[in-house]
Chains A and B, each alone.
Chain A
Amino acid sequence: MFQVPTIADLNLGLTLPALSLALGACVLLLLDLFVPRERKEITAWLAMAGIAVSFVLNLAGFNESGTAFLGTFAADQFTGFLNIVILITAFLGVLLSLDYLKRAKIERGEYYVLLLLSAAGMMFMSSANDLIVVFIALELLSIPLYIMATFRAPDLKSEESGMKYFILGAFAGAFFVYGAALVYGATGTTNLPEIFAAVNGIIAAGGSQMFLLLMGTGLILVGLGFKVAVVPFHMWTPDVYEGAPTPVTAFMSVGAKAGGFAGLLRIMVVALPVFVLKDGQTAAAWQQTFWLVAAATLILGNIVAIAQTNVKRMLAYSSIAHAGYIMMAVAAAGTAGVANEATRAALLYLMAYMFTNLGAFGIALAIEKDDGSDTGVDNFIGLAKSKPALAAMMTVFMLSLTGIPLTGGFVGKWFVFKSALDAGLVPLAIIGVLTSVISAFYYVRIIVNMYLKDGEGDPAAGATRYVNWAIYVAFAGTLLMGIFPWIATNLSDTVVLAVEMFVR
């Protein structure tokens, strides 16, 4: 019999970081109504204050773990770590947007509200402990992004970008729901730990239940794989990234990926790590598929990126490629005993990617003209002369994206490759290394443009105060992670997502 829960059952304390952000967004929506039109930066500051509050709450509760909302919401170090990534992303996103929106004459208070809501969705995703919560979080993080992508309206490119993202996103979301329904059909529950408990029975029973669970897993991969833009669900990425306003692109390139991978890791590592075809196997049934998806993503993303002449498009393909590296870690999590290590690797990669990518987008935004033009790779020519500091930081970001030591990108790649090797996915690791080498082509091309090609330096009109701040933060983060990786690894080492499996 269903017992009406009491407030105490909900464990609201654990949900405070996410909840405060969501409620903060709702309140901000009202407060914004009373902010005069020409002083919208007040809304931005309020948004940042909300993010800061959530950040503090998150740090305070970092080591507390447990479940809330009747087991549908889990708070643990995984949540804590990802929330740090998400909140920093949101914070830098606001910073990057402040002047950009003014320049582009699209400043509206709703923008920040939407950004906060989306960030809240990502945070819910990082603590989702139930397929339904995963779905709600997925929608909560997506829908504001659809709107934000069209924020440059009536600019046609921006509208097209948002429309495409919306239609395809809805399409992919439907697959996720279908997958969740199939998993429910196989296991009789949507709760992730309960699914975990039911899996062993399904392995023993085989047959149609196994079939349902496999189908469900595949469709869940589709829904979340779309969000994180892995091949073959990546087609929307370049168009959307190019058309959306640059700060939105920056925010979604990191945030949506963090959210998507949070959901994917939650489901795969918490619910399905022991899901094998036959007793005694050490590799999960879904590992091969993830492996192939990761490999395809790495190869396609990195190779197509070479051909791009628009920085935003190039970074879009680069972000596809990076999704491949993180996917590699998720695939590694399918091997018995490697799940936690692989989860940590994915988290570290996300953090490094967050700093680096936001920095790179920040600089792309800085050289962009007011009307959204001048985002070509060639616009970097002569930047070293006109803005040496920006050029130097861009160099670091590019090196970090390539994965050169002493940058955050290297640390992330190191752990991801290591987890892949530990999981026995040697060919995948080799593909990873080779594609990293390939990626140097297009990253280094930007460095070459800045330093070695003659030309008029770009005035980088967009490099205003707040944008610079954001870039500095990203720069500092990238270097910090590269030179003192243990700060991040100490934090990530506390993450224990999977039930350690020694017996299968």
Chain B
Amino acid sequence: MENLPQLVPLVVFIPLVGMIINLLWGARLGEQWAGWIGSGAAILSFLVSFLLLTYLTGSNYQSVVVNPPFLDGWLSIGSINLEIPWQQRVDTLSVTMMLVVTGVGSLIHIYAIGYMHGDERFPRFFAFLNMFLVFMLILVTGNNFLMMFVGWEGVGLCSYLLIGFWFDKAKGVGWKNSLAARKAMILNRIGDFGMLMGIFLIFWTFGTLDYYKPGEIANVEYQEHLVAQLTGEHGEAAAPAEGEHGATTTEGEAAAPAAEGEHTEAPVAEGEHGEAAAPAAEGEHAVGPAIPEYVNNDHIATDQLGVFGKAQRMLEDGAEVNFGVVSLPIETVLVLITLFLLLGATGKSAQIPLFVWLPDAMAGPTPVSALIHAATMVTAGVYMMVRSNVLYHNAETTSLVVALIGATTALAAGYIAIGQWDIKRVLAYSTISQLGFMVAAVGIGAYGAAMFHLVTHAFFKALLFLGSGSVIHGVEHGHHDVSHGHDHHHDHDFDPQDMRNMGGLRNKMPITFLTYLVGTLALAGIWPFAGFWSKDEILADAWLSNTAGGYVVLAMLVIAAAFTAFYMWRQIEMVFFGKPRTEAAEHAHESTPAMLWPLVILAFFALLAGFYNVPANAGPFTIFGFFEWLFGGAHSFTVFLEPSVAYAHAGEFQGGIAAVALILALGAILLARRVYGDNKSVTADNTDPLYVNPATRQIWSLANARLYWDETYNRLLEQPFNAIGNFLAHTLDWTFWHDYVHEKVVGRGFNALGDLLSSPVDLGIIDGIVNGLGRLVSWLAGGLRRIQTGYVRTYAITLLLGVVLVIIILLLPMLQSGS
């Protein structure tokens, strides 16, 4: 039990093995095996994550830093004092992310077995999915910013590969998919630039990239509280109880008895550290204290602290950071760092100004949209900012920017979603909007609420995407059935993702409908679904922040929430209610169990997940404390996060705001029902009722045109860029320089001489003689064969690879030892 954290490398390793198997032998294994190997890897990884959770609950949430075997001294270059160990961190934050990634991931893997059935690159799809898990888990379990960056880039790569997975589809669709993938890649590179700059700045400022060094306490307040509580329980005589208490309270980083001696930078020492933290060693010591030895980090020298600990100490000391030319106070530097990191987050988490890639990313297969572009990867930015909460908390300027960006994104994307026809595009803008909620939460300092919304959103948005996949699948099959009966030529125009082609699916696909409804209600924030609790917590915290910025954010978010309810209900009406509008929808049928089971399970969580963080004193909303009692206390999730997120605090419940938001959401649903209900969701000329109504025509058209965002970028950036390029290439280089200077000035004289020499003299006389000789020789040699050396090339390449291999093996120990 106490050695459980040592399992954390497996979380990454298992999907890695799955990926390798599927990459190498996937084609031979066949669909069934490939799919279940991929899914099995995800499930196993989830089980390991769950074991880690049981460890945390059993040990007062003491975090542990683990050195995976074979990788210690990952990046150590002695000569420049660079020391970035490959360490994985088991704490409440990382375990939360692990559970979400592997849990939702497992379900989506299983779903994909059904969804990708029959695809020619089926095994490769699973290999990519597993590869995504590998990088995502590296991202969330790493104990330093460089590992985060490795994962960050890795998931970006997987995203690219998976968006463009159907790059070879016919009729130009494949080309569009490739373009979408490229767009995602390019916009993310802009974000990554910020990320890199942030990391460089962090390294310059703090001399390390580790979040916390082993043995460091993330949340001092929590630790003090814990120690006080434990001392109270046991009294002074709480002597080495060797038994349960000894085991449960003394391990973890703070317990490390060897702390003073071993706070060297050598990774070896950290390895020992981990062992020493194990209770077995504790038991042998027998005299060890029964409570964590340290309640704060005062015993650790400043240069032995991780990034966050050091940042806090530098703030206390009012330190200045020297950049050679200028010295800046630490506060300013923090603002710079956090702004750069924010740029990274806007790329990965699709915020203004870099969000435009996410809607296009829906070109990927739906499981990809669910897993990568809704539930996990896009939340990496939020995770990163929550992980860096110490930095953001102390950079007020940035926080305001973050909050405004998040709220604006939430509002703008929510608005755009109203005007979309593509079922997945609506969800994509919805995802952007919800990510905006999380980012805004980070901006107003509600880190716990941001994480809470991240978790619940992962469930219900994955549910919605998978549901939409099920719908698309059903409609496509319906279309397939129909077009088999009739002619084939209307194939070209049919879009199975266009909601105008749906309608009335409620009866055809009952399970999909019910689960979709649950997801919708959760997303719309209807009591008591998960979304209600998480969204409300963000709103409450915005109110409590008690600043002008906070109120602005609050107002924007409340409106965005109303938009959310509206566009989701519009979608429900268009897809499930009314009469089928096409033959395909008429003939749609329910999906296979492999696709339905994940939906049911996710629906279950979309309903329940919110209860694990119900607020205290919420009156009727918690049925006067009934929910608290039922689900083990108020704000359990925030409390759970506190040990690893120093500034995660639970805001008080604001009944008024909750009521307003709820009423607005319900009102929006009713409005949507009025506009789109009763089988008039799509007008006769195949457009939106809002467009038909002159009063709302402008509003809807603006949303439909996506606020002209892409066009603006196109006009502002792409076109001028192209114009300059064209001018330089055509006008300046070709027209002036080549056509005029070369042709007219240099060319003419040269040509006259050249023509004389080449045509009559060279071709006529010299070539005639030489060519005759050449023909004679080739005639002589005609019958003879060359030595066939076809395979030598292969051998030589193998030899060369061997050389590379040998050199790498030889040099590895040297690089690792850093000598």
* Chain A complexes with chain B: yes
> Do the beta carbons of A239 and B791 come within 8 Å of each other?
yes
> Do the beta carbons of B79 and A207 come within 8 Å of each other?
yes
Question: What are 20 sample pairs from A and B whose C-beta atoms fall under 8 A apart?
Answer: A159-B787, A163-B787, A164-B792, A167-B792, A168-B799, A210-B819, A211-B811, A215-B810, A215-B811, A218-B803, A218-B806, A218-B807, A219-B807, A222-B803, A222-B806, A232-B798, A232-B802, A277-B813, A277-B814, A288-B810
* B789 contact from A167, A217, A218, A233, Cβ within 8 A: A167
**In the complex, A239 Cα to B796 Cα: how many Å?**
14
Known: A222-B803, A277-B819. 14 other contacts (CB 8 A): A159-B787, A160-B788, A168-B792, A171-B796, A171-B799, A210-B819, A214-B811, A218-B806, A222-B799, A231-B802, A232-B802, A232-B806, A233-B802, A277-B813
**In the complex, chain B residues whose CB is within 8 Å of the CB of A398:** none
**In the complex, A159 Cα to B787 Cα: how many Å?**
8
Q: Which of B771-819 contact A (CB under 8 A)?
A: 787-789, 791-792, 794-796, 798-799, 801-803, 805-807, 809-811, 813-814, 817, 819
> Do the beta carbons of A207 and B806 come within 8 Å of each other?
no
**In the complex, chain B residues whose CB is within 8 Å of the CB of A207:** 79, 819
**In the complex, chain B residues whose CB is within 8 Å of the CB of A239:** 791
Q: Given contacts A171-B796, A288-B809, is CB(A160)–CB(B819) below 8 Å?
A: no
> Do the beta carbons of A168 and B806 come within 8 Å of each other?
no
**In the complex, chain A residues whose CB is within 8 Å of the CB of B810:** 214-215, 217-218, 285-286, 288-289
Closest to A221 in B: B806
**In the complex, A164 Cα to B789 Cα: how many Å?**
7
> Do the beta carbons of A292 and B819 come within 8 Å of each other?
no
* A285 contact from B792, B794, B796, B813, Cβ within 8 A: B813
> Do the beta carbons of B802 and A164 come within 8 Å of each other?
no
**In the complex, A293 Cα to B801 Cα: how many Å?**
13
A136 close to B (CB within 8 Å): no
**In the complex, A172 Cα to B799 Cα: how many Å?**
8
Closest to A205 in B: B819
> Do the beta carbons of A277 and B806 come within 8 Å of each other?
no
> Do the beta carbons of A206 and B802 come within 8 Å of each other?
no
**In the complex, chain A residues whose CB is within 8 Å of the CB of B791:** 164, 239
**In the complex, A288 Cα to B79 Cα: how many Å?**
25
**In the complex, chain A residues whose CB is within 8 Å of the CB of B805:** 232
A226 close to B (CB within 8 Å): yes
Residue positions of A touching B, CB distance < 8 A: 156, 159-160, 163-164, 167-168, 171-172, 175, 206-207, 210-211, 214-215, 217-219, 221-222, 226, 231-233, 235-236, 239, 277-278, 285-286, 288-289, 292-293
**In the complex, A236 Cα to B809 Cα: how many Å?**
23
**In the complex, chain A residues whose CB is within 8 Å of the CB of B788:** 156, 160
List of 8 A-B pairs having minimum Cβ-Cβ separation, nearest first: A232-B802, A235-B795, A206-B819, A218-B810, A218-B807, A289-B809, A218-B806, A289-B810
**In the complex, A80 Cα to B596 Cα: how many Å?**
79
**In the complex, chain B residues whose CB is within 8 Å of the CB of A219:** 803, 807
* A226 contact from B789, B799, B809, B814, Cβ within 8 A: B799
> Do the beta carbons of B809 and A235 come within 8 Å of each other?
no
**In the complex, chain B residues whose CB is within 8 Å of the CB of A236:** 795
- B-side interface residues, number (CB < 8 Å): 24
**In the complex, A218 Cα to B802 Cα: how many Å?**
10
Most chain B CB inside 10 Å of its own CB: which residue of A163, A175, A232, A233: A232
Closest to B818 in A: A206
**In the complex, A289 Cα to B809 Cα: how many Å?**
6
> Do the beta carbons of B794 and A235 come within 8 Å of each other?
yes
Closest to B819 in A: A206
* B128-152 vs A, Cβ < 8 Å mask (1 yes, 0 no): 0000000000000000000000000
CB distance from B423 to the nearest CB of A (A): 53
> Do the beta carbons of A210 and B806 come within 8 Å of each other?
no
**In the complex, A168 Cα to B793 Cα: how many Å?**
9
CB distance from B805 to the nearest CB of A (A): 7
CB distance from B797 to the nearest CB of A (A): 9
**In the complex, A271 Cα to B819 Cα: how many Å?**
21
Most chain A CB inside 10 Å of its own CB: which residue of B789, B791, B803, B819: B803
> Do the beta carbons of B814 and A235 come within 8 Å of each other?
no
* B806 contact from A156, A172, A211, A289, Cβ within 8 A: A289
**In the complex, chain B residues whose CB is within 8 Å of the CB of A167:** 789, 792, 796
* B796 contact from A168, A222, A286, A292, Cβ within 8 A: A168
**In the complex, chain B residues whose CB is within 8 Å of the CB of A210:** 814, 819
**In the complex, A222 Cα to B801 Cα: how many Å?**
11
**In the complex, A231 Cα to B789 Cα: how many Å?**
21
* B798 contact from A214, A235, A293, Cβ within 8 A: A235
> Do the beta carbons of A214 and B809 come within 8 Å of each other?
no
**In the complex, A233 Cα to B806 Cα: how many Å?**
11
CB distance from A243 to the nearest CB of B (A): 12
**In the complex, A201 Cα to B498 Cα: how many Å?**
74
Closest to B816 in A: A277
**In the complex, A286 Cα to B807 Cα: how many Å?**
10
CB distance from B513 to the nearest CB of A (A): 57
**In the complex, chain A residues whose CB is within 8 Å of the CB of B803:** 175, 218-219, 222
> Do the beta carbons of B819 and A278 come within 8 Å of each other?
yes
* B807 contact from A160, A215, A233, A292, Cβ within 8 A: A215
**In the complex, A348 Cα to B575 Cα: how many Å?**
82
CB distance from B70 to the nearest CB of A (A): 13
**In the complex, chain B residues whose CB is within 8 Å of the CB of A172:** 799
> Do the beta carbons of A293 and B806 come within 8 Å of each other?
yes
**In the complex, A218 Cα to B805 Cα: how many Å?**
10
Q: Given contacts A285-B810, A289-B806, is CB(A163)–CB(B789) below 8 Å?
A: yes
Closest to A293 in B: B806
CB distance from B267 to the nearest CB of A (A): 15
Closest to A236 in B: B795
**In the complex, A231 Cα to B788 Cα: how many Å?**
25
**In the complex, chain A residues whose CB is within 8 Å of the CB of B801:** 232
**In the complex, A289 Cα to B807 Cα: how many Å?**
9
Q: Given contacts A214-B811, A277-B813, A277-B814, is CB(A164)–CB(B806) below 8 Å?
A: no
**In the complex, A307 Cα to B23 Cα: how many Å?**
26
**In the complex, A285 Cα to B809 Cα: how many Å?**
10
Q: Given contacts A167-B792, A167-B796, A236-B795, is CB(A278)–CB(B817) below 8 Å?
A: yes
**In the complex, chain A residues whose CB is within 8 Å of the CB of B79:** 207
Closest to A217 in B: B810
CB distance from A428 to the nearest CB of B (A): 15
Closest to A175 in B: B803
CB distance from A273 to the nearest CB of B (A): 16
**In the complex, chain B residues whose CB is within 8 Å of the CB of A289:** 806, 809-810
Closest to B797 in A: A235
**In the complex, chain A residues whose CB is within 8 Å of the CB of B819:** 206-207, 210, 277-278
**In the complex, chain B residues whose CB is within 8 Å of the CB of A156:** 788
CB distance from A250 to the nearest CB of B (A): 22
CB distance from A317 to the nearest CB of B (A): 15
**In the complex, chain A residues whose CB is within 8 Å of the CB of B817:** 277-278
* A160 contact from B787, B794, B798, Cβ within 8 A: B787
**In the complex, A167 Cα to B792 Cα: how many Å?**
8
Closest to B794 in A: A235
**In the complex, A421 Cα to B545 Cα: how many Å?**
70
CB distance from B288 to the nearest CB of A (A): 33
**In the complex, chain A residues whose CB is within 8 Å of the CB of B798:** 232, 235
**In the complex, chain B residues whose CB is within 8 Å of the CB of A217:** 810
CB distance from B817 to the nearest CB of A (A): 6
Most chain A CB inside 10 Å of its own CB: which residue of B796, B799, B801, B805: B799
CB distance from A429 to the nearest CB of B (A): 20
CB distance from B684 to the nearest CB of A (A): 71
Closest to A162 in B: B787
**In the complex, chain A residues whose CB is within 8 Å of the CB of B787:** 159-160, 163
CB distance from B289 to the nearest CB of A (A): 37
**In the complex, chain B residues whose CB is within 8 Å of the CB of A168:** 792, 795-796, 799
**In the complex, A172 Cα to B792 Cα: how many Å?**
13
CB distance from A350 to the nearest CB of B (A): 23
CB distance from B811 to the nearest CB of A (A): 6
**In the complex, A351 Cα to B798 Cα: how many Å?**
30
> Do the beta carbons of A235 and B806 come within 8 Å of each other?
no
> Do the beta carbons of B789 and A232 come within 8 Å of each other?
no
